[in-house]
A and B are shown apart, each in its own frame.
Chain A
Amino acid sequence: MLEVLSPVPGNATGLAGVPDPVFSQGMVGPGTAVDPERAPQTAVAPIAGTIVKLHPHAFVIAGADGKGVLVHLGIDTVDLKGEGFETLAAEGDAVEAGAPLVRWNPAEVEQGGRSPAVPVVALDAPKDTVLDTVESGAVQAGATALFAWR
Chain B
Amino acid sequence: MAERRVKVESEVGLHARPAALFVEAASKAPGEATVAKGDGAPVSAKSILAVMGLDVRHGDEITIRVDGEDADTVLDRLAEIAGAA
Contacts and interface: CB of A to CB of B under 8 A. Distances in A.
Interface stretch (B12-20, B30-38, B59-67, B72-80): B12-20
Interface residues of B, number: 15
B68 interface: no
Interface string B19-32: 11100100000000
Interface residues of A, number: 19
A53 B48 contact: no
Interface in A41-59: 52-53, 55, 58
Contacts, number: 45
A70 interface: yes
B52 A22 contact: no
A23 B49 CA distance: 15
A53 B15 CA distance: 10
Q: Which 5 A-B pairs have the closest CB atoms?
A: A68-B49, A27-B20, A123-B49, A28-B20, A22-B17
Interface of A: 20, 22-23, 27-29, 52-53, 55, 58, 60, 62, 66, 68, 70, 72, 78, 123-124
